[in-house]
Amino acid sequence: MKRGISARIKDVFIRYLILILVALPNLWLFYFIFTPLTTYPLYALFSIFFETSLSGNIITLYNCVPIELIDACIAGSAYYLLLILNLSIPNIEFAKRIKIIAVSFVSLLLINILRIFFLSVLYASGSSLFDITHQIFWYLGSIVFVVGIWFVEVSIFKIKGIPFYSDIKFFSGLKKTGKSKGSNKNK
């Protein structure tokens, strides 16, 4: 029984340590990985429809409309939020957890590429809808995408835990168990 409890405590420690380490410095790891994974497919997609060139993180359409992919476009914090949701759930086998993370990241990557493509087409065409659409995607869209991906994964992978709450409940149960054992010793 004690081995199970210590293994669970170790699991909680490792999961939250990973979350802290990945966030340092300033989500750098997400931008390092997802900037090229966003830029190159987006460039390929633009090349199908437009005369396009690529220089670093700037995709130029029609030889005159630059689309710069800044960190906010890459959405590193959205990937991090998906990782937080995933790692704050206990009792998921390692292979299943990797699969859930991979599915969530690929889903967000595809949605993000399509979002940037759509907004860029609006921008390049001079549409009056660009500003309002960009603001809606910026403030509401990213939250809806992350929450939507998470709820779909909960359903598909039959995730039973609640982020953070399941771990808090575990530790509060340990505290109650410790108090009841201590009270029996005094009798």
Q: How many domains does the chain contain in total? A: 1
Q: Is residue 91 part of a domain?
A: yes
H helical segments located in 50-129: 71-74, 76-87, 94-124
Q: Taking the CB of residue 87, how many other CB atoms lie within 10 A of it?
A: 20
Higher pLDDT, 128 or 172: 128
Cα separations (Å) of 147 from 55, 86, 104, 154? 33, 12, 11, 10
Q: Is residue 45 part of a domain?
A: yes
**What pLDDT sits at residue 187?**
44
Q: Is residue 47 part of a domain?
A: yes
Q: Is residue 178 part of a domain?
A: no
Q: Please, which pLDDT band fits residue 30 given cuts at 50, 70 and 90?
A: very high
Contact 170, 8 (CB under 8 A): yes
Task: Please tell me the pTM assigned to this model.
Answer: 0.86
CA 147 to chain centre: 10
Long-range contacts of 124-132 (CB under 8 A, 24+ apart): 124/50, 124/61, 124/62, 124/65, 124/67
Q: Is residue 182 part of a domain?
A: no
Q: Is residue 87 part of a domain?
A: yes
Q: Which structural domain, as residue segments, surrounds residue 65?
A: 2-173
Does 59 score more than 90 pLDDT?
Answer: yes
Q: Is residue 184 part of a domain?
A: no
